[in-house]
Structure 1
Amino acid sequence: MAKRIITISREYGSGGRFIGEEVARKLGIAYYDKDIIGQIAEQSGLSPEYIKENAELSPKKGLFAYAFAGRDITGKSIEDIVYEAQRKVILELAGKEPCVIVGRNADYILKDRDDVLNVFIHGDMPEKTQRIMGLYNVEEKEAVKMMADTDKRRMTNYSFYTEQKWGKASNYTLCLNSSQLGYDRCEKIIMECGK
């Protein structure tokens, strides 16, 4: 069966967002990433700024922050409300049209559909570091810290809401090393596997 939906999970600095954007452009399908923040904010009643910081990443305090988060009368924390709103938006988008969805646990949220291609993009540390240094005009030490912090928060969020290991090959259809393959080849492989 042809894959209507492509989800892309990625390590920080691997170029996964760029690859996803190019795949969507080349296939002529919708691309969803940060642009769904407004929809998640609307669903949850929270500000877009709050969603931008918290919808994909765990609280800076890590896994324990989930355990000690303030809960309302139903037992839900703000993080739970954000995740539920995000889940609802992703399910609606996937039901509406063929698309590429980057991050936000979309691979897990859409796990029951058989028309989804789940991709994990990773890379080698030297290339990722150079990319972050160039994109954000930071020194090597800061780039390494940014990667470690962001990936740790993505991993914690994914683990908490999916009970799966972020980046584990068996959770994805494809795992691609963008440093070894290059962006163009990653894009071609994803498009070929989506047919």
Structure 2
Amino acid sequence: MTKNTIITIGRQFGSGGHEIGELLAKKLGIPFYDRNLVKMAAEELHITEEQAELEDEKKLMSIVSNYNLAMGGYNDFMANAEFYAPVGRDLYAVQSAIIKKLAQKGSCVIVGRCADYVLKDYPGCINVFICASKEDRKNRVMDKYHLSERKAAEKMKKIDRERKYYYETYSGKEWGSIQSHQILMNSSLLGKEKIVEYLAALYNEQQEE
């Protein structure tokens, strides 16, 4: 008897996590959700997709940058992050509700958006975090965005910080750690194709249980 299996993918910027998710969903013939979750949430909140993008995995980082840490320090800020980012909080809540509905609807692949944490009580989840060597990530970012080596390194650092703040603020867990994710996979060592093959086999095995 088949059941819904949700594969959630966290990822370092430039690790190929998005592409791995797309390839996996295509191979398994199941829906893939990433930025389209932002569009769905924007429609629920009656705001533009552009506004939602600004609040997605980026807003908290910009607030941290502008926040006077002397007022209480980083830990104090993080303890009150939802107070300082009400629109971001609403977007997170709406996206979380959408993710839960999608999990009930059918098997799928979801990238980012704390999906592993949102579905922590859902039994049919495979939670993966994709990492890669700094050099491979930098080369991928340079090629994809046509950036210099310095600009690529800066973009990697910025986006990883944004994702880390977003994940840790809403989940209370450490982004990218083995304590927070079921499986850590290095795309530099394994390659995207092998990761897709492994996760597809894991998915099929879970479907048969």
- Same-fold status (TM-score > 0.5): yes
C-alpha offsets along residues 132-190 of structure 1, whole Å, 9 cap, x if unaligned?
00000000111111011001011001111111111011221211000111011111111
1:184 maps to 2:193: yes
Shift of 1:68: 6.8
Q: Is the 8 A contact 1:3 1:117 kept in 2?
A: no
**Equivalent of residue 174 in structure 2, options 152, 160, 165:** 165
Deviation, structure 1 residue 69: 6.9
Percent identity between the aligned chains? 33
Distance 1:168 1:116 in 2: 17
After superposition, the Cα gap between the structure-2 partners of 1:68 and 1:37, relative to the gap in structure 1 and judged at 3 Å, is closer
Task: Decide which of 111, 114, 122 is 2:131's aligned counterpart.
Answer: 122
CA distance in 1, matches of 2:188, 2:90: 36
What's 1:36 paired with? 37
Whether contact under 8 Å (1:59, 1:65) holds in the other structure is no
Relative to structure 1, is the Cα distance of residues 2 and 93 closer, same or farther in structure 2, using a 3 angstrom cutoff? closer
Residue matched to 2:71: none
Aligned to 2:140: 131
Quickly say closer, same or farther: Cα 1:45–1:65, change in 2 above 3 A: farther
Match of 1:84 in 2: 93
SS at match of 1:166: coil
Q: What is the alpha-carbon distance in structure 1 between the residues aligned to residue 81 and residue 167 of structure 2?
A: 17
Paired residue secondary structure (1:60): helix
- Gaps (5+ residues) in structure 1? none
Q: 1:90 to 1:171 in 2, by over 3 A?
A: same
Counterpart code for 2:161:
K
Hey, what does 1:151 align to over in structure 2? 160
What is the CA-CA distance between 1:46 and the residue it aligns to? Answer: 2.3
Give the number of the structure whose alpha-carbon radius of gyration is greater.
2
The Cα of 1:66 is off from its aligned counterpart by: 8.2
Q: Cα distance 1:69–1:185, how it changes in 2: closer, same or farther (>3 A)?
A: closer
Cα deviation code 1:109-139 (max 9, x no counterpart): 0010110000000000000000000000000
Q: What's 1:61 paired with?
A: 63
Is the partner of 2:62 in helix, strand or coil?
Answer: coil
